[in-house]
Amino acid sequence: MPTDHGHVVSTFHQATPELVDKAIQGALQAKVEWEALPFEDRASVFLKAADLLSTKYRAEVLAAVMLGTGKNVWQAEVDAAVETIDFWRFNAKYGQSALACFLIGP
């Protein structure tokens, strides 16, 4: 919080080298599983995330941005919610179009 340097926004824990290695191995396995999913399933994850951010989690994300950056609600709405929702939805649609072009041709 830029206006209150003593305000605790979150806490974190120090990771051991073993825990970091475990996280890396987990991420590499998740990458393999993610890449094996059909495009439609991967796109649906982003579309669902966009739906959740535009409804259920919108206020929470706006509050976090406002606290973390000192932005007002309008700025947080534009910078966090709208941009992210549009990014997720656009890229799912763009990927669908690119995949169709690749499989069917222009």
pLDDT at residue 2 in the model: 78
Q: Report residue 75 as tokens.
A: 């700025």
What type of residue is 78? V
The DSSP 8-state label assigned to residue 37 in this structure reads S
Asked whether the beta carbons of 1 and 69 are under 8 A apart, the reply is no
Split at pLDDT 50, 70, 90, the class of 104 is confident
Asked whether the beta carbons of 24 and 16 are under 8 A apart, the reply is no
The DSSP 8-state label assigned to residue 43 in this structure reads H
pLDDT above 70 (res 93): yes
Split at pLDDT 50, 70, 90, the class of 105 is low
- Residue range 26-30: mean pLDDT, rounded: 98
In terms of Cα–Cα distance, which of 82, 104, 101, 105 is closest to 93? 101
